[in-house]
Chain A
Amino acid sequence: MDAVIDNLPLFLEGFRNTLGLLAIAGVGASLLGMIVAAMRISPIASFRIFATAYTELVRNTPLTLVLFFCAYLLPYLQFTPGYFQLAAIGLTVYTSPFVAEALRSGVNGVHVGQAEAARSVGLTFGQTLSYVVMPQAIRMVVPPLINVFIALTKNTSVAGAFFVFELFGAARKITNDRGDATIAILLAVAAFYLIITIPLGIVAGRIEKKVAVLR
């Protein structure tokens, strides 16, 4: 236990970096994901094809490989903004197709009858989307989106293997220093992750229940 208390500053620094990665990659992936989702449902065929190919390729690439690319190969191309930024870029790219899929499936999940009804009472394209389809789609999208962010939280740990000092990096360093208290240290790190993931999961469950009642 004393190993945990002695190293609390290191834990907190790691936690801060994990939160930083989560925030930056979360915002970045949301923006990129929105663009990809918009391309994916757009009437322009070439955009659709591009977005589909992007989604399939990135989704099927292991995160470790993406971060390896960011940490080793981008600096080799003389792109060196620092490992934290590189890891944030990698996590953003990796997470964006999952965000895009969550958004797209939300729009697809709205029953076709809703749009038909809106159209048949004479609403235009814009009105149909903004008054009928989107309000339902956004509600349906929130739980899967939160789940993407939970996954992102856990994925930030991989950045710890690529020179970023976040929680997993802290775990590696501290267990190296204090080999006698491995279990306590790793459980403490796990607790830090659970502080983020479990509340998010509860929120997702709540919203999901609410949406289920509304439908």
Chain B
Amino acid sequence: MSSVLYDAPGPKSRARSRMLSIVGAIVIAGGLAALIVVLGLPKASANGAVQPGLWDVSRWDVFGDLLVWRTLGLGALATLRMAAVAATFALILGVLFSFGRASDTAWIRVPTTVILEFFRGMPVLLMMLFILLVFGTGSFWAGVAALSVYNGAIIGEALRAGINALPRGQREAGLAIGLTPVATRFRIEFPQAFRQMLPIIIAQLVVLLKDTSLAFVVGYNELLRSGLNNLGGFFGNQYQFSFFFIVLAIYLTMNLSLSWVARRIAKHTGPQAGKLIKPDETPPVDPNLVDPRALGAQSRSQGV
């Protein structure tokens, strides 16, 4: 990757870098092992009572109980349900927002821009609280509505950036063969923009899936609440850690598999796939996405 930056290493420096690599690996592994051992030590609490270490059987025996797995499963399902409903609405809203934002009519474009800026600059959590308190929707729909609006705004911006990045000729050609401006947008420009922006949109859906955990704050029984709050409260403090690790593992499995799908799609339909953006140009960067360039960079390994 970075071999351009220096001469090809000779046998001496190759041996040195291999040495360093092994030493580094030992240091890292040692640190992790020390952490695991320290966490596993039984420790005395402030009042003198000795608690068993974190890997002690007494902290993990609860997972023999079927009820625990049922609760965790239901929590995971609730998380996925909220994510699925919110993702659907977010995509629909995103399409609408992008049309409004790219509209030729000023009195559609300007208000949409203001609304989008407002939604994108606000924490999702605040939106959830707002919807919960003002509209009294209940926690599920408060979470779904806030996640849809927020992610819809971001997907809308991404789609608009995609539409803007298309060559002008696309629109001109559509208008020239007699399509109306709306039909041109919908049948010519939009499908291409969507394809271009698919990696970013899916990355945003991973964010959405992660953000469902915020609904925990407004009282929705998703994975975090049912796994940590409810089970932890029911079985007692000594299982907190075990529940935390299991919930973390479930979240990581869900998010990493979705991220993996996103990366695969990024590889197949990256900016260079349709040859619509010149390979030299960086893809349009949308302000509120966390790392659109990282996504692009993963598919184009032409960098330094």
Contacts and interface: CB of A to CB of B under 8 A. Distances in A.
Given A111-B302, A115-B5, A62 B241 contact: no
A133 interface: yes
A57 B126 contact: no
A60 B28 contact: no
B20 interface: yes
Contacts of B256: 56, 60
A135 to B, nearest CB: 13
Contacts of A50: 24, 28
A155 B122 CA distance: 10
A16 interface: no
Contacts of B235: none
B35 to A, nearest CB: 11
Nearest to B20: A44
B4 A116 contact: yes
Contacts of B289: 147
Contact of B303 (A60, A110, A161, A194): A110
Q: Which range holds the interface residue count of chain A?
A: 35 or more
B158 interface: no
Contacts of B5: 115, 119, 125, 128-129, 133
Interface in A82-127: 98, 101-102, 104-112, 114-116, 119, 125
Interface string B178-216: 000000000000000000000000000010001111101
A78 B248 contact: no
B129 A73 contact: no
Contacts of A76: 237, 240-241
Interface in B146-172: none
A77 B130 CA distance: 35
Contact of B134 (A65, A147, A156, A186): A186
Contacts, number: 199
B251 A201 contact: no
Interface stretch (B84-92, B93-101, B291-299): B291-299
Contacts of B4: 112, 115-116, 119
A156 to B, nearest CB: 8
Interface stretch (B70-78, B102-110, B280-288): B280-288
Nearest to B229: A68
B124 interface: yes
Contact of A65 (B123, B224, B285, B304): B224
Contacts of A208: 285
A199 to B, nearest CB: 10
Nearest to A137: B304
Contacts of B210: 60-63
B231 interface: no
A213 to B, nearest CB: 13
B288 A201 contact: yes
Interface in A38-56: 41, 43-47, 50, 56
B58 interface: no
Given A60-B259, A114-B304, A125-B6, A186 B251 contact: no
B198 to A, nearest CB: 19
B24 A61 contact: no
A160 B240 contact: no
B114 to A, nearest CB: 11
Contact of B291 (A115, A144, A158, A189): A144
B214 A105 contact: no
Contact of A108 (B22, B129, B248, B297): B297
A155 B237 contact: no
B213 A62 contact: yes
B266 to A, nearest CB: 13
Nearest to A153: B123
Lowest 9 A-B CB distances belong to which pairs? A108-B303, A46-B25, A157-B123, A60-B255, A62-B213, A197-B121, A64-B213, A46-B24, A105-B293
Interface of A: 41, 43-47, 50, 56-57, 60-65, 68-69, 72-73, 76-78, 98, 101-102, 104-112, 114-116, 119, 125, 128-129, 133, 140, 143-144, 147-148, 150-151, 154-158, 160-161, 168, 171-172, 175, 182-183, 186, 189-190, 193-194, 197-198, 201, 204-205, 208
Given A140-B293, A194-B122, 4 more contacts: A60-B210, A64-B224, A78-B43, A154-B121
6 contacts: A47-B24, A60-B259, A76-B237, A168-B125, A172-B129, A175-B133
